[in-house]
């Protein structure tokens, strides 16, 4: 996609024709979310909201994942200092809420792994498309943790029973199951995912 582009450390943004492509860009880490990402995501959403030329955004990931979840490199420091957990959780919630409050329609294009925070970002978007290779999970349960935003947003999107099941079992579901429970709207072939998502985004921008 041609057009103006903004570069951040963990995210790239390309804009053209009223549509922004927002790509989580740590493919070597399966786009695991670190502190830098949590600071950058609200800045990206504010930038798009402030741009009168942008009406819709497609949020995806570089490589084979949207995101495998939180960067495990952060956890030792957090577990060693309980006082650090509360500001960290606020940072995480503020980042994901930035998607919800964005002044543009945000569409998830889930190209592969979307575990933990990856599923939470999918929930935060206005709607989502997924590749047949996509998978979703709240893996936090396997670490004795809970998906904070997932528990608050999940019941509105996929219902309380599925939210409870995923948050407590750490079960991984495929794209078709995600479609059947309302987490994603459509399932696409991998090579057609971005065309489908950007096509719908372009229709929104045209209106």
Compute, in degrees rounded to 10, the torsion defined by CA atoms 153, 156, 157, 161. Answer: 100
Q: Yes or no: say if 58 and 22 are a contact pair by the CB < 8 Å rule.
A: yes
For this structure, is 140 an active site residue?
Answer: yes
Of the residues 28, 40, 120, 176, only one is catalytic, namely: 120
Q: Yes or no: say if 156 and 179 are a contact pair by the CB < 8 Å rule.
A: no
For residue 81, the number of C-alpha atoms closer than 13 Å in the C-beta half-sphere is 8
SS3 130: strand
Residue among 8, 101, 19 nearest 62 (CA):
8
Of the residues 9, 100, 133, 140, only one is catalytic, namely: 140
For this structure, is 40 an active site residue?
Answer: no
Residues annotated as part of the active site: 120, 140
């Amino acid at each position: 996609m041609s057009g103006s582009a903004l570069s951040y450390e963990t995210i790239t943004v390309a804009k053209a024709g009223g549509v922004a492509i927002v790509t989580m860009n740590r493919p070597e880490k399966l786009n695991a979310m670190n502190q830098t990402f949590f600071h950058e995501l609200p800045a990206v959403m504010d930038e798009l909201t402030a741009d009168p030329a942008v009406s819709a955004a497609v949020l995806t990931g570089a490589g084979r994942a949207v995101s495998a979840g939180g960067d495990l490199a952060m956890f030792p420091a957090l577990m060693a200092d309980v006082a650090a957990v509360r500001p960290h959780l606020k940072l995480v919630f503020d980042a994901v809420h930035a998607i919800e409050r964005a002044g543009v329609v945000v569409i998830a294009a889930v190209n592969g792994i979307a575990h933990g925070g990856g599923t939470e970002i999918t929930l935060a978007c206005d709607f989502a498309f997924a590749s047949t290779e996509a998978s979703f999970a709240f893996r936090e349960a396997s670490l004795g943790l809970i998906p904070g935003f997932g528990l608050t947003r999940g019941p509105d999107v996929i219902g309380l029973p599925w939210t409870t099941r995923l948050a407590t079992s750490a079960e991984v579901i495929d794209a078709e199951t995600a479609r059947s429970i309302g987490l994603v709207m459509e399932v696409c072939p991998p090579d057609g995912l971005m065309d489908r998502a950007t096509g719908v985004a372009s229709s929104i921008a045209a209106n």
